[in-house]
């Protein structure tokens, strides 16, 4: 789902749209169009880019939206800016004549970051070395197709229509009604001066799990359309120290982990650690995204003698000196839990592990093996469904339920267990933020947990 909460957004404008109706086919693993929570924080007036498509002459051109130009209905003038931050390279791809005046029209978009620093991550790094995980870059249709024409001149609906025919999800970036977006799991390095030339600002991270920064944008045109326009904007987190608060949010309308680089399911995606008989499904199938009707159900069984794990995690770096939290809406019925901790929510920094564990009888901090830390537990209450685990730099950590309010239990930082070390294999990554089930089948019954959403934030103690 969506990365970054306190974001400096490279944005332009907005136009109302019915979010669920503009998407083409998604992968079969997703049960509903993706949605993400509202990013918050300081706004930067950065760049309005209007794209004009000429199907007759096969050209795609861009220009900024001037302050004197009349905005399309629904567009907020608050979101605008210059062309000194992002440069777009938009080229026509092959298109398909579908007959009956219908065309599938494709654009190959490239993006270059003209800022002096990277976007798409919180972590400082030196190119070509990358951090372990990427919060990513969102390019969204802030202004839906308009100025539609055919050979006879201006031509509006229903005679002539243009719709966005492929998107990774929808989100109300600049308007209460969702806007379609395309997500790049990548980092765009800063320092570009011309997008046509080589440079680290054209970051391609496919070798380390990212996506080619050029992806297809597709449109379905009806009515022998010859020209149309639309607006593009970019939203991305800025690398430290240019930003000091970063948020990642998962809403359970699809599984968190990727199928492959073209089917991330969640933007950004979570890595999965799974052994034994754990299984994850979306409940209820076909639920409506953003309606609070979707949940990720994780069920662990007793099929093997080894510990069974189904844990999702991300590797956005959290320093020991930084505040951070992870929060979730979680249902874990005691009758579906083991007598030892089996449902977990937590984070780590390079030195310490901050791990909430829930059993059928107790809730509290645990060590890396999953055992409760004596003196830092409370009785399990089945009515608790809103959770937050927070770390105050190198001072202390607390468990909250409900998420907002007084802590249930607080532990000194020095009393926290040591953080597990990162493995030495190429596929091993630090589990800086994680949630899921871990059971011990030799001594424990099954465990079932139900997650409606999970979010974490670096740089603050809570929302």
Instruction: Work out the average pLDDT over 53-59.
Output: 96
Cis peptide before 354 (omega within 30 of 0): no
Which one has a higher pLDDT value, 85 or 200? Answer: 85
Joined together, the tokens standing for residue 27 give 């992968």
How many Å apart are CA 163 and CA 288, to the nearest integer? 21
Task: Look at residue 375 and tell me whether its pLDDT is greater than 60.
Answer: yes
Joined together, the tokens standing for residue 166 give 């492929």
The dihedral built from the CA positions of residue 14, 19, 24 and 30, taken in this order, carries a sign that is positive
Percent of the chain with pLDDT over 70: 79
pLDDT in tens, 390-444: 999 999 999 999 999 999 999 999 999 999 998 888 778 999 999 998 876 555 5
pLDDT in tens, 24-46: 333 333 333 344 443 433 333 34
Residue 183 confidence (pLDDT): 87
How many Å apart are CA 281 and CA 15, to the nearest integer? 34
- Smallest CA-to-CA distance from 79 within 12, 10, 149, 162 is with 12
How many Å apart are CA 443 and CA 421, to the nearest integer? 26
Considering only 222-226, 332-336, 396-400, 419-423, which range has the smallest mean pLDDT? 332-336
Q: Look-up: residue for tokens 């046509």? A: 196
Q: Which CATH architecture fits 270-458?
A: Sandwich (2.60)
Looking only at the bridges linking them, the beta strands covering 161-164 and 137-150 are unpaired
Which one has a higher pLDDT value, 79 or 252? Answer: 252
Residue 140 confidence (pLDDT): 85
Domain regions of the chain by residue span:
9-235, 270-458
pLDDT in tens, 257-292: 988 877 888 889 999 988 666 789 998 877 776 667
Residue 37 confidence (pLDDT): 41
Residue 159 confidence (pLDDT): 97
How many Å apart are CA 426 and CA 369, to the nearest integer? 23
Task: Look at residue 203 and tell me whether its pLDDT is greater than 80.
Answer: no
- Smallest CA-to-CA distance from 275 within 304, 246, 255 is with 304
Residue 34 confidence (pLDDT): 41
Question: 411 and 373 in contact (C-beta within 8 Å)?
Answer: yes
How many Å apart are CA 175 and CA 45, to the nearest integer? 16
Residue 27 confidence (pLDDT): 38
């Amino acid at each position: 789902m969506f990365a970054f909460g306190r974001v400096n957004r490279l944005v332009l404008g907005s136009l109302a749209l019915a979010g669920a109706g503009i998407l083409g086919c998604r992968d079969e693993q997703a049960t509903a169009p993706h949605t993400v929570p509202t990013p918050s924080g300081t706004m930067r007036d950065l760049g309005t880019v209007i794209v004009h498509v000429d199907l007759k002459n096969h050209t795609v051109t861009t220009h900024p939206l001037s302050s004197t130009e009349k905005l399309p209905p629904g567009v907020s003038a608050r979101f605008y800016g210059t062309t000194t931050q992002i440069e777009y390279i938009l080229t026509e791809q092959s298109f398909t004549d579908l007959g009956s005046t219908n065309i599938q029209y494709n654009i190959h978009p490239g993006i270059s970051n003209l800022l002096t620093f990277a976007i798409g991550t919180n972590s400082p790094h030196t190119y070509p070395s990358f951090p372990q995980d990427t919060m990513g870059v969102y390019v969204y249709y802030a202004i839906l197709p308009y100025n539609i024409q055919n050979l006879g001149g201006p031509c509006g609906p229903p005679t002539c229509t243009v719709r966005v025919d492929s998107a990774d999800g929808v989100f109300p970036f600049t308007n209460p009604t969702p806007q379609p977006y395309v997500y790049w799991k990548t980092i765009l390095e800063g320092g570009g001066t011309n997008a046509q030339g080589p440079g680290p600002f054209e970051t391609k991270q496919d070798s380390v799990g990212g996506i080619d920064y050029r992806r297809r944008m597709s449109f379905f045109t009806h009515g022998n359309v010859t020209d149309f326009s639309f607006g593009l904007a970019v939203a991305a987190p800025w690398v430290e120290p240019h930003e000091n608060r970063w948020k990642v949010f998962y809403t359970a309308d699809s599984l968190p982990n990727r199928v492959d680089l073209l089917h991330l399911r969640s933007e950004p995606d979570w890595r999965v650690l799974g052994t034994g008989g754990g299984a994850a499904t979306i409940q209820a199938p076909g639920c409506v995204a953003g309606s609070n009707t979707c949940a990720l159900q994780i069920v662990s069984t007793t099929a093997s003698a080894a510990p069974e794990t189904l844990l999702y995690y991300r590797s956005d770096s959290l320093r020991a000196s930084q505040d951070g939290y992870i929060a979730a809406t979680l249902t874990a019925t005691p009758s579906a839990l083991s007598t030892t901790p089996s449902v977990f929510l937590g984070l780590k920094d390079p030195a310490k592990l901050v791990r909430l564990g829930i059993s059928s009888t107790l809730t509290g901090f645990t060590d890396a093996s999953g055992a409760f830390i004596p003196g830092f537990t409370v009785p399990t209450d089945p009515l608790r469904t809103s959770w937050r685990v927070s770390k105050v730099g190198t001072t202390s950590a607390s468990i909250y339920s409900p998420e907002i309010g007084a802590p249930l239990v607080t532990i000194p930082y020095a009393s926290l267990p040591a953080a597990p070390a990162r493995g030495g294999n190429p596929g091993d990554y630090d589990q800086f933020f994680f949630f899921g089930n871990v059971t011990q089948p030799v001594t424990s019954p099954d465990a079932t947990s139900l997650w409606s959403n999970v979010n974490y934030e670096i740089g603050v103690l809570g929302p």
